[in-house]
Amino acid sequence: MDISSSFHDPALCRALLDRLSEELEALGRPVRFMEVCGTHTVSIFRSGLRSLLPAGLEHLSGPGCPVCVTHDSEVAAFIRAAEKPNVIVATFGDLLRVPGPDGRSLKHAMAEGARVQVVYSPLDAVKLAAEHPGDTVVFPAVGFETTAPVIAGAVMTAKNTGLSNFCIIPCNKLVPPAMRALLSGDEASARSIDAFLLPGHVAVVLGLAPFEFLAKEFGRPSVVGGFEPADILSALCLMLDMLRRGRPEVGNTYTRAVSREGSPQARRIMETVFCVADARWRGLGDIPKSGLALRDGWKAFDAMERLGLELGETGHIPGCRCGDILRGALTPDKCPLFGRVCTPQNPTGPCMVSTEGSCAAWYRYRGVQA
C-alpha cells in the first residue's frame, strides 16, 4: 500500500477527530489555532477537515501564502521592471495576476507589450538568460525559506556560468519574524490565537529551533505538521494535549520529512548568497530582519540596483481586506468584496489570486454564501 494512502484512511481520521473532541472537552474552552502555510490552507479546505473539526476548535489562516504577503510596492517594482527596454521578466504564474496599488498587474503590462514569461523554477529563468544574451532577464524572487535556497542556487549558477544578464528582485521573506510581529502587536485577534500549526516545508529547511520562541516567550503550543488529513489531525491532537497540560512546546508530527536540525546544507546555500534584511509584508507592514537581501559579493545580481528601482510608498487596493485576512483578523466571507466583486476570475487582491490564498480556497471549497 502507498504510504500516503494511510494518511487518508477514514478510520484513522475518524479516530483522530474523536480524540480531538475528547481533548477539547477535557480542556473545557474553545481554541483558536492558526496555520501559516498556504499548502496547509488548501489541504484543510480540500479534504473537508474544516467542516469536520469539533465545535469550539476554530481554524484561522495566517501569513503563509508567499504571493499573498508580497507587498503592493514589490508588485509595483515587478511591473516597472517589465516596462524597461530590453528586459524580460521571468516569473511564477501566480504572480502574473497579482494587482499592484493602481490595479495593474504583470498581466496588464504583458498585454501592453511588456515581455513577461512564466517559468516553473528559478533555473528556468537562468536558462532564459542564456537564450537571450542581449536582454536582461529579471526573476521576482518571492517565497519563504523553502524557495530561498533554490533561488540562491540559481544566482550561483548564473555567476558560475558567466551569465551577467540574469538578476533577481529579492523579496524572499522569513516566517518566524512575521509570527513574532503578529503576536507582539496589539491586535485582539492575534492575542486570542491559542496555538500554531507550523509550516512543514519551511521546517524542512529551518528545523524546530527558530520557532521555539512561540512556546518560551508567548506560551503558544506550536506543532509542525504534514499536509495529509491524518498529518494535520495528529498535529492538532498534540497541540490540544499541550494546552490541556499547560505545557506549551514546539512539537513535530511530520518526522518523516522534518528533523530538529532542519537542512544545514540548504541553509548554507541560502546564507552564501543572502543576508537577513528588513522586509515589507502585506498586512503586517515593515518587519525588521524578516527578509533576505543579496550579500555584497552578489549585488551584481540585484535588479533593484541594476535597473534603478525602488520600493516606494503605495496606497492600498480600494476595498481589499487581504491584509486583515492574513493577520487572522477577518475570514474571507466577511470581506464585502468576496464572491461579488472579487472572484478567482476577476481577483481584487492576492488572497484570491494565488491557489494557496485563503480567499481562493474558501471560494473554491466552501462557495459563496449570500
Give the per-residue SS3 of 81-96: HHCCCCEEEEECHHHH
CATH 3.40.50.11740, domain 1-361, yes or no: yes
Q: Where are the beta strands (DSSP E) in 6-114?
A: 31-35, 57-61, 87-91
Q: In the prediction, which pLDDT does 136 show?
A: 98
Q: What is the pLDDT of residue 367?
A: 58
Axis-axis angle for helices 229-245, 38-46 (nearest 10): 110
Q: Kindly state the DSSP code that residue 99 receives in the 8-state scheme.
A: -
At 129, is the secondary structure helix, strand, or coil?
Answer: helix
Specify the DSSP class assigned to residue 338. B
324-345 in b/e burial notation, b at 16+ Cβ within 10 A?
Answer: bbbbbbbbbeebebbbeebbbe
Q: Contact at 8 Å (CB) between 179 and 217?
A: no
Three-state DSSP class for residue 290: strand
Domain boundaries, the chain: 1-361
pLDDT of residue 151: 98
Q: What is the CB neighbour count within 10 angstroms for residue 10? A: 9
Amino acid in the structure at residue 244: R
C-alpha cell at 39: 499548502
Task: Give CA torsion, residues 205, 209, 214, 218, to 10 deg.
Answer: -160
CA distances in angstroms from 119 to 92, 240, 326, listed in the order given: 5, 41, 26
Q: What is the pLDDT of residue 119?
A: 97
User: How far apart are the C-alpha atoms of 73 and 105, rounded to whole Å?
Assistant: 12
The per-residue pLDDT for 186 is: 82
Q: What is the mean pLDDT of each successive set of 10 residues along the chain, which is 370 residues long?
A: 62 94 96 95 93 94 94 94 97 91 89 96 98 98 97 98 97 97 88 95 98 98 96 96 97 96 97 97 94 97 96 80 93 93 91 92 74
pLDDT at 3: 47
How many beta carbons lie within 10 A of that of residue 166, not counting itself?
A: 27
pLDDT at 4: 52
Torsion sign (Cα): 220, 226, 227, 233:
negative
CB 364 within 8 A of CB 339: no
As separate numbers, helices (DSSP H) first and strands (DSSP E) second, the chain gives: 19, 11
The pLDDT of residue 369 = 46
